[in-house]
Chains A and B, each alone.
Chain A
Amino acid sequence: MSLTDTPIFGLALSLAAFALGAFLNRKTGLPLVNPLLVAVTVVMLTLSLLRIPLDHYRKGAQLVSVFLAPATAALAVGIYNQRKVLKQYFLPVLLGCLAGSLASMISAYLLCRAFGLEDALVRAMVPKSVTTPIAMAISESLGGVVPVTVAAVILTGILGAVTAPLLIRLFHVTDPIAQGVAIGTSAHAIGTTKANELGPVQGAMSSIAIGVAGLITVLLSLAL
């Protein structure tokens, strides 16, 4: 029996680590100092430096994970709020998300195979462009290593947020609608924070793309 073998430990550590991440993100204003990235590092360092078993952390962490389901369901509110824009540009958004989701899954699969990665890793990488709860569920049903999926999704989001302005120039994407859908499809919720900085249309389109691309990817993964 040790001091950390209680649910409140994992909960307190999670909250404190994330609060520190959010604080550093605000202070520095750097996209790379992502709150989640900082929090994961802080929790991992704390556990390994103080030799606290992962099982102790899990007791409190479970309480946090429970809220992933309602948080995902809550994305529906964002889509509902943008229903007018979505209705007007329904086909471009739908086709864009479809093409993007296909491109993401196929390129992830082929590249993983080309690099000779093992099966469980390939399956974990296939859903990497969609929002975490959806990607986790897909990875699990495909038989992938779920934590690898989560790490890949988060890194993808950060990468997308950091490189979005660069990619917009690289591909000469002038239309704000195309910019938004591309950010949301390739870099989900973390990318959407950048889309919101670029403009309200980009932000709205990006948040719609999180849900639409997520749904499409689930449907496509059923065919695998």
Chain B
Amino acid sequence: MNALTQLALLAAICFAGEVVAKALPFAFPASVVSMVLLLLLLLTGALKLRHVEQAASFLTRNMAFFFLPAAVEIMASYQTVKGSLLPLLAVLVLTTVITFGVTAGTVSLCLRVQRRRGKERAA
């Protein structure tokens, strides 16, 4: 399927995602609704990988570029953060280390339990 048709499909899914997000009784990011919609369409086979693959791969490979305007907006709010730069950086570093440690620890623990059970079942 050609790239424009693929892009049209993705755009249609995103539009549907926005409609669903507006209908929800709580605030939920429309882009995440669209992601779930696309996953469901792929899992049910309603949409084949070849229908979206090229456009999706272009978008995800260049994902960082699409964030550029949002990041530039920091200029407009620089006054807000100016006085708190150091604490903000400290929070960034500490939370990254904590998040990494907690996630890695939890996964390792679960894997050990899962594998032990697997072995017991095999034995």
Contact = CB atoms under 8 A, between A and B. Distances in A.
Interface of A: 10, 14-15, 17-18, 34-36, 39-40, 43-44, 47-48, 54, 57-58, 61-62, 64-65, 67-81, 83, 89, 91-93, 95-104, 107-108, 111-112, 115-118, 120-121, 125, 128-129, 132-134, 136-138, 141, 145-148, 150-152, 154-156, 159-160, 163-164, 167-168, 170-171, 173-175, 177-179, 181-183, 185-187, 189-190, 209, 211, 214-215, 218, 222
A150 B73 contact: yes
B60 interface: yes
Nearest to B27: A141
B59 A160 contact: no
Given A91-B110, A159-B92, A214 B71 contact: no
Contacts of B80: 120-121, 145, 148
Nearest to A108: B95
Please classify the interface of chain B as helix (H, G, I), strand (E, B), loop, or mixed, using the class held by over half of its residues: helix
Contacts of A71: 59-60, 62-63, 66
Given A77-B60, A125-B88, A65 B93 contact: no
Interface in B62-104: 62-77, 80-81, 84, 87-104
Nearest to B112: A175
A213 to B, nearest CB: 8
B100 A97 contact: no
A154 B71 contact: yes
Contacts of B36: 76, 215
Nearest to B70: A150
Given A111-B94, A155-B92, A133 B105 contact: no
